[in-house]
Structure 1
Amino acid sequence: MDKFGNIARHWTSPDKTMGAWIAIAVGLLIVYFPTFWDLFHGLWGTERHAHGPIVFFVSIWFFYFKLKQLPAYGISFEPFPVLGWPILIFGLLVFILGRSQTLLIFEVGSLIPVLLGITLIFMGSRVAKFLWFAFFFLCFVVPLPAFVVDAATLPMKTAVSFATEHILYALDYPIARTGVMLTIGQYQLLVADACAGLNSLFTLEVLGLLYMNVTHHESPFRNFMLAVLIIPISFIANVTRVIVLALITYHWGDAAGQGFLHEFSGIVLFITALLLVIATDGLLRVLSNKFKKSQQATSSDLKV
């Protein structure tokens, strides 16, 4: 292990850093290019897993964003190959198993221990701890088994359909519901996985967690509440999208509802969710400031 440690320290010296990262990047590209090629031309091309590319590219950016912060926090490279190599080897074995057996949860999931092992080998445990959220972020890239997605999606679709029906009925629209099938006027709309499934929930949860980490709130309560409230925010955004699609279909016909405006409703979903996240964060900030002021007033009264 001392030999590996010397190699890692040699690679992380200032004059060798660029060559080290180029070699690592080329190695990762060779290993994982076929996997992500298959994902982009297969699973990620479906509506159910449309969140995959978004989360993947945001993950890459976030790793870059956090690594650039290392000098500002005074974190230096202290290679820890004793732990890094076993984790890296484990990750590669998981990749081989996943690739050979076509198990995407292993094949894609192996990227997390592989990157963690490389980080420990060449940068050390302090850097790995600093990047913990980036590694957690990558978990959202891993495709879940179909039975998990189906089990979680059905209640969400039912809830979105129920809310849409009652809101539009209250607005005097001729709407009825059978399960996840909405009938508005002469049109029928099936609330599909893409309109009320885990893809939007995952994407919005990821973007919300990213927002929290980038803004770097110091209040644990504020962070926790925002992370929890992203789930109802996702639900509200999904209901908004289905309502928009139902109204488009009712007023302009089925062709409009299933064409360009269907895709545009997805943009409406994320804009709605982003505005709700920012508004919720603002409300939590006001409540947090009031709570701090009340605590300070109470402590000052006790001192008097």
Structure 2
Amino acid sequence: MPSMGHTHHHAGALTPTWDEPPELSDRTAGRVIVVLLLVGVVTLYLPTVMRLVDQVWSTAEQGHGPLILALCAWMAWQRRAQLAALPDLPNRWLGGCLLAVSLAAYVLGHSQGVLGLEAASLIGVLAALLLCFKGLAGVRVMALPLTFMLFTVPLPGILVQTLTMPLKVAVSACAEWLLHAVGYPVGRTGVVLMIGQYQLLVADACAGLNSMFTLEALGFLWMSLRPRSTPARDALLALVILPISFVANVVRVMVLVLVTYHLGDAAGQGFAHDFSGIVLFVAAVLMMVAAEAVIRRPQAVQGRAA
């Protein structure tokens, strides 16, 4: 009899272990669902990415697209532990609505050949899945990668056409004024600069619209890597990047004009033309760093005073 009682005691001690497998199976099932959804998203949008590579990202103006997409993936990977640690507080109503709207945008963009709309719908789909599993807290954790993905979306053609010409005229006028101020024999007709026996047409690539887009992406990346500042100062830096991009494009045009004037047309259209793009981004990054130092200086002074 004692042995039977002893056996009964061990059976009772083992009872809680039979309650653990269902919990583990639920967790495993949740992970399987997440993996299947991610596979579905990749399968759905891989053709979209391939069209972006073939039609948009292969151009010099939009060649930053793959790099930005890789940076988005890296930032999301860096935040995976923070996302996993969040409690499961899904907002399925809001997530479902956003998912429906995003998939409708995908269908519309795909069927009508609007690649920008098709690509932008991916951001909405990912945000909707975060809402369905982790709620608004999950979206907040992944807000930076999701926002950064906007810079992988090609600009609408009508917007590019509308803004490019005024920017080209403004860049040409500023370059003419500055070169004339330092004594160079330069004139201008529209977007054509004349210096000596040379005439230079300011191309769309020198207008600054695509470089503004790229530099805004670099600015967001820079702010994400730097110590956190106030939202107001971050917003101010994001706005300051726009005139910085304009100034950098003026510098690029001036460099090409001077190279052509002193070294000839072949030099201006050869290596110097390609090198001027490097000059643009170096000048823009230096100005961006200087602007950030000025904008964040009051915060640094207050921190030292405290």
Does TM-score exceed 0.5, indicating one fold? yes
Shift of 1:128: 0.7
- Using the size of structure 1 for normalisation, the TM-score is 0.81
Question: 5+ residue gaps in structure 2?
Answer: 1-22
How many pairs align? Answer: 284
More deviation in 166-175 or 196-205? 166-175
In structure 2, C-alpha distance between the alignment counterparts of 1:82 and 1:53, rounded to whole Å: 33
Look up the equivalent residue of 1:121 and give its one-letter code: C
Quick one: structure 1 residues 128 and 155, their matched pair in 2 at CA, closer, same or farther if it must change by over 3 Å?
same
1:239 aligned to which of 239, 242, 250: 250
Q: Determine the structure 2 residue equivalent to 1:228.
A: 239
- 2:16 paired residue number: none
The 5 A counterparts of 1:1-304 are: 13=27, 22-67=35-80, 69-70=82-83, 75-290=86-301
Change (3 A) 1:86 1:287: closer
Q: What CA distance in whole angstroms lies between the structure 1 residues aligned with 2:296 and 2:196?
A: 44
**3-state SS of paired residue (2:146):** helix
User: Max radius of gyration: which structure?
Assistant: 2
Distance 2:35 2:205 in 1: 38
Shift in Å, 1:143: 2.2
Gaps of 5+ in 1: 1-8, 297-304
Deviation at 1:61, TM superposition (A): 3.0
Secondary structure in structure 2 of the residue aligned to 1:177:
strand
Which whole-Å CA distance do the structure 2 matches of 1:147 and 1:42 have between them? 17
Q: What RMSD over aligned residues (CA atoms) do the two structures have, in Å?
A: 2.9
Cα distance in 1 for partners of 2:60, 2:196 equals 26
Letter paired with 1:104 = L
Deviations 1:36-55 (A, max 9, x none): 21221113333444444444
Letter in 2 for 1:218: S
Question: What letter corresponds to residue 230 of structure 2 in structure 1?
Answer: S
Query: Is residue 12–residue 122 contact of structure 1 (8 Å, CA) maintained in 2?
Result: no
Structure 1 pair 11–42 and aligned structure 2 pair: CA distance change class (3 A):
farther
What is the distance in 2 between the residues matched to 1:232 and 1:169?
22
- Cα offset for 1:218? 2.9
What amino acid does structure 2 have at the position aligned with 1:232? Answer: P
